[in-house]
Amino acid sequence: MDLAAALGAHLDRLSFADRGTDEVTELLIEAVVGWAREQGWRAYRRAASVVPLPAPYDRQFSVVDVGIARPGDAPVVVEVDHADRRRTLDKLVAEGAAGRVALWVRWGAGRMSAPPEPVRLVAFPVISRRGPSGGRVHSHAPGADRPAPEHSEAAGEYTSQAMHLEDGQGGPDDT
């Protein structure tokens, strides 16, 4: 199973309008947990990471947004971000090196760069705009990021004909 594609398809079913940044992140984390549980897996929010925190907390470990335990298969770790965060990528690379499947749910408007191996990107496009209070709000509709339709090879044939208006109808000869 391509976990990134399966998670992406699950997330694409979400629909919301005019949500704040923190709300969207929370909604996506909850959707990831729901997806894992639908597969029969155990899911943990704020699961322990293999990456230690920087000093003076270097005896403690960082956390991932969602940790997923799959019986008989490698664990999955998921980070949800709306910005390119170097620390997130470093953490996910370390998780992958430790044998976990590392998924990065990256949401936002615009182009998203591919992460380094072994991290798998789950792109989640949104439409962003300024809300009534001046802050950014975000919206997503299922299938909204569809590619443009293909154009046919043959161009249509067009003809032009002069219009003849009846007297008194405002044609070019009426003055």
62/87 Cα distance (integer angstroms): 10
The pLDDT value recorded for residue 175 is 47
Could you tell me the mean pLDDT of each successive run of 10 residues in the chain, 175 residues long? 94 96 97 98 96 85 96 97 90 97 94 92 95 91 62 55 57 49
Cβ neighbour number for residue 116 with a 10 Å cutoff: 11
Contact 115, 121 (CB under 8 A): yes
How much is the pTM? 0.79
CB-based burial label for 129 (10 Å; 0-12, 13-18, 19+): exposed
- Which residues have a Cβ under 8 Å from the Cβ of 105 and sit 6 or more positions away? 7, 11, 28, 32, 78, 79, 80, 81, 122, 124
- Which residues have a Cβ under 8 Å from the Cβ of 119 and sit 6 or more positions away? 89, 92, 93, 96, 102, 103, 104
The pLDDT value recorded for residue 160 is 57
88/29 Cα distance (integer angstroms): 15
Element (DSSP H or E) covering residue 136: strand 136-140
Cα distances from 141 to residues 14, 21, 129, in angstroms, run 7, 16, 15
